[in-house]
Amino acid sequence: MRLLRTTNAPRPAHVRLRLSFDRPSRRDLVVFGGYCAAAALYIAIGVSYIDFLFSFWVGAGYLLIVAWLVPTLVRRLA
Amino acid sequence: MSWAAHDLEPYAIQKHTKLKLAFVPLLIGSYSPDMMTKWFVYGIHLGPWDLKASDPAQFHRGWPGFGFTHSLIYGVAIGLILWKVFGSKLWGVSFLVGQAAHAITDTGDTVGTMLLFPWTFHFHLGAWAYAGQTGRMTDAAAYFSGLGSMWDLVFVVYGLWSWRVLTSSYFDNLIYRVDAFWPWLHRWVPRGALIVLYRAAFFYGTSRWIAWTIWAHVIHHYPYDLSWGGPHWVHAAHP
């Protein structure tokens, strides 16, 4: 019995090289912008009053107020 | 010593490790070697008393002293306590990883750490000057003028590049589900506040890095010296 084979090696599947970037959504950028604004204020206070930079708990408390408490209150009032 | 790397490394570890880790003990582990000692290294005023170690580098990193807190065996010991006494293997392993990251990172300065304590040899690369003995402000100025601050910057950039680690969906799907601490805290604290708390160390490390850099180079004009072991304008401690 004869062996059957193709005349040429099978060609690779047609693929197009695509570079994909893990781009943030608009909402991600808005959140990031809010944190940048919070950071700018934190840095301004810290550079003016250096003791403000010493404690993680001060930083975490500040962030809770600026990035969560204030926006939550503003949303409720609106 | 490092100023911001210990805030930022847990996010990089969280992203890359193949182990199941809990973020809170990972961060506590990353802070733990300096928790009890930093105040005495820099000194504090307490009423009429000035409390400060007579040899801050020895106290902080040496033996006799509290240098064992920067050894791997310290992380193993506390990790085992968390596992066997408090019953959480996850917290034990996570603490161990965070503490080891701190101990290894601090080998970058001129004093280094006794990684293999009770062997008291100090592993040190000597890439940046250890200047804790000069007081907090001079130490900050020196640190943010040398390669130590560049090492911190690597983690700032890497964290921003790995931005998904900081998203709410990452928190919901990985951080919150892995560790029962978060659902427990959620009984009193709303989800939005939990996410802010999760991001706090990255915010603190990055913002503080920028603030200290501005303080050292814009306001006080300390010179940069990115040579190995620098800055050489400060007296660096050695083991």
Q: Which two tokens stand for residue B137?
A: 């402000």
Closest to A68 in 3D by CA, of B130, B190, B193, B25: B193
Q: DSSP labels for B16-31?
A: H-SS---HHHHHHHHH
Interface ipTM above 0.90: yes
Q: Give the single-character DSSP code of B140.
A: H
Interchain contact, B167 vs A28, CB within 8 Å: yes
Search chain A and give the residue with CA nearest B196.
A64
CA–CA min distance B114, chain A (Å): 26
Search chain A and give the residue with CA nearest B193.
A68
- Flag whether pLDDT at A18 surpasses 90: no
Q: Which two tokens stand for residue B146?
A: 């040398």
- Give phi and psi for A34, each to the nearest 5: -60, -45
Distance of CA B177 to the CA centre of its chain: 25
Question: Looking at residue A21, what is its pLDDT?
Answer: 61
Q: Give the 3-state secondary structure of residue B7.
A: helix
Interchain contact, A60 vs B215, CB within 8 Å: no
Residue B202: which H helix or E strand, with range? helix B191-214
Question: Chain A neighbours among B 97-126 (CB < 8 Å)?
Answer: none
How far apart (Å, rounded) are the C-alpha atoms in residues B15 and B10? 9
Residues of A in contact with B7 (CB under 8 A): 56
Q: Are B144 and B212 in contact (CB under 8 A)?
A: yes
Q: DSSP labels for B176-199?
A: HHH-THHHHHHTTS-HHHHHHHHH
**Predicted structure pTM score:** 0.90
Q: Are B210 and B160 in contact (CB under 8 A)?
A: no
CB-nearest partner of B204 from A50, A56, A69 = A56
Question: Chain B neighbours among A 31-60 (CB < 8 Å)?
Answer: 31-32, 35, 38-39, 42-43, 46-47, 50, 53-54, 56, 59-60
CA–CA min distance A2, chain B (Å): 52
pLDDT values of chain B reduced to their tens digit, one per residue, 239 residues: 778 889 999 998 988 886 789 999 999 999 999 998 888 899 888 888 888 888 999 999 999 999 999 999 999 999 999 999 999 999 999 999 999 999 999 999 999 999 999 999 999 999 999 999 999 999 999 999 999 999 999 999 999 998 999 999 999 999 999 999 999 999 999 999 999 999 999 999 999 999 999 999 999 999 999 999 999 999 999 99
